[in-house]
Structure 1
Amino acid sequence: MSAATLAPGTTPAQADRSLPRRNFLRDTRIVLVRELRPVVRDPFSLVFGLVQPLVFLGLFGPLLAGSAGETLGGDVWLWFVPAVLAMTTLFGTSVTGSNLQLDLSSGVHERMLVTPLSRPAQLVGRALKEMVPIVAQSAVVIVVMLPFGLRPDPIGAVLTLLQLAVLGVGVGSLSYALALAVRKQEWMFWVVQQTVLFPVMLLSGMLLPLETGPAWMRAVSSVNPLRYVVDSGRAAFAGDLLSSAVAWGWVAAVATAVLGLAVGVRAMIRSAD
């Protein structure tokens, strides 16, 4: 076996560019499978992630039905369950950067960077991994709520799960980018995550209707992508699949995914500089 050598005057970067290009889809699949293995081996995290949405539905749902049932109109569960699914997506994907922080502190991230896997594929593979727990947990929540009177439109429910998966890819990518940006100050990740998380959640109207809120709150919520995703889920669950709310929800989810992937891939490429 002969050792690879560099020609005189050839830098490592030039040698790297001279190597055969890797297949992006294959690299993404390799990273995706790697990220999913811990989930498959230890599904406890998926089960634990169901506690919060079920508690909200079990405790907050009846209170909402009693205090705001007339304001909401129609079936309270069709209004509240899609919001809880969006909340689960937001909470679950916004903390995924903490997994990358563990890789950074243990040196795994640096070892991954020197592999032949392309850096964009490493980010995209990690982000796509977030789709699996989102869809699995959301599907379980819907099934659990059926005996309690939830009757969503089947097609609308499926479309909502897909939309939340797209949103989760974007939020997860932004979370990874944040972890890379504050890699030398790990505590800063949680400061930023918590500071952004709760205003975004409350200004989406997922817990209480914003129509009765002050004008400034309605104005701020109009630029919150999560609000459009929440409204889209409610319309889809009710069977109004052709409404503008569903269309705007997809625009918001796709825009978040595109922005998140763009920022995340750039951060991943620059992480070895």
Structure 2
Amino acid sequence: MSVDPVTRRPRLAAAAQQTATLAWRTLLQIRHNPWELADFSIQPVLFLLLFLFVFGGAIAGTTADYLAYMLPGVIVMNMTFVTVYVGHGLNTDLTKGFFDRLRSLPIGPWTPLAGRIIADLVKQGWCILLLLAVGYLLGFRVITSPVAVLGAIALVLTFALAMSWLMVLVGVIARDPEHVQLFGFTALFPVTFVSNAFVPVETMPAWLQTVVHVNPVSLLADAVRGLLGDGDVLMPALGVLAWSLAITAVFAPLSLWALRRRLSRG
């Protein structure tokens, strides 16, 4: 008995290949729109230079001392902000009918979303490496090991994956890509700046320190500092992993439910 290839559900290997193809499709869009990479290249470098040379002397006394403290914070801040583009790209695909066209093909129902998230993780990996390279040119030195650097990158991308689910939900429920950016950045600004990413927590009011200590951005910044330089790694890293699991457990099911609901309404 023959099986209709259109209705047959793809096997896991085929779904993985489809995910890779759709991720590559997202990455290829950079060739047609190079400015898309600016948010992952020019913007983080500008943040690094501005924070370093404008605030470095006032906060740490010298730019060299501030660079060692601030570079991990910039990496974490930029990772948090660029997750908005997961939701932005997803909303663009939804509003332009890309998902509707894919529904007529024999592909896994989750592969377009997985392809989008993986492509953005690749872009974020590029951004982290770029910031480390620029930091090296400015005088930043890793005093741990290559394994620790890989661990820092993996930890940042793990939290980025968790935050991507939040932005997927925003991308699904927002009316258009502009509202994704509006809602996304509005939510992420206080989370990012009410942290120790740029200033030591000891300089803040006592009531605010309590919030900062449990902020996942603070925990991630501390873990990255420890992995690249000197400081505690285990407890901040465990905190980041706990937050990542919690965020994923809440927003992944909500995002998938909202996506299925939006697609079912056509």
Cα offset for 1:191? 3.4
- The answer to whether structure 1 residue 87 and structure 2 residue 81 are counterparts is no
Q: Take 1:20 and 1:121, find their aligned partners in 2: how far apart are those partners?
A: 12
Q: Please tell me whether residue 121 in structure 1 is matched to residue 111 in structure 2.
A: yes
Alignment correspondent of 2:152? 160
1:125 Cα deviation after fit: 2.0
Query: How far has the Cα of 1:244 moved from its partner?
Result: 1.8
Task: Give the length in aligned residue pairs.
Answer: 257
| Within-5 A mapping of 1:63-82 | 63-69=54-60, 75-82=65-72
User: 1:56 is matched by which residue type in structure 2?
Assistant: F
Question: C-alpha distance in 2, partners of 1:260/1:106?
Answer: 24
The residue number in structure 1 matching 2:197 is 206
1:154-193 equivalences under 5 Å are 154-183=146-175, 188-193=179-184
Change (3 A) 1:240 1:30: same
C-alpha RMSD of the superposition: 2.9
1:198 deviates by 0.8
Check whether the contact 1:172–1:260 (CA below 8 A) recurs between aligned residues: no
How far apart are residue 80 of structure 1 and its match? 0.5
The 1:145/1:109 distance shift into structure 2, 3 A limit, reads same
- Larger Rg: 1 or 2? 1
The 1:40/1:250 distance shift into structure 2, 3 A limit, reads farther
CA contact (8 A) 2:124 2:157 kept: yes
Give me the identity figure in percent.
23
1:224 to 202, 209, 215: 215
Distance 2:86 2:53 in 1: 31
SS of 1:60's partner is helix
SS of equivalent to 1:95: helix
* Among 74, 81, 99, the residue aligned to 1:109: 99
Per-residue CA deviation, residues 62-113 of structure 1 (Å, 9 max, x unaligned), is: 343322216x9x9422211011111111121113322222222221121123
For 1:83 and 1:223, the matched residues in 2 are separated by 16
Tell me, in whole angstroms, the C-alpha distance in 2 between the residues paired with 1:40 and 1:191.
26
- 1:233-244 matches, cutoff 5 A: 233-240=224-231, 242-244=233-235
One-letter code aligned to 2:235: S
Q: Read off the aligned partner of 1:107 and give its amino acid letter.
A: G
Structure 1: state its 5+ residue gaps.
5-14
* 3-state SS of paired residue (1:207): coil
Which residue of 22, 25, 29 maps to 1:34? 25
Unaligned ranges ≥5, structure 2: none
Q: Normalized against structure 2, the TM-score is what?
A: 0.82
Report the Cα distance in structure 2 between the residues aligned to 1:215 and 1:239, rounded to whole angstroms: 25
Counterpart code for 2:208: M
TM-score by length of 1: 0.80
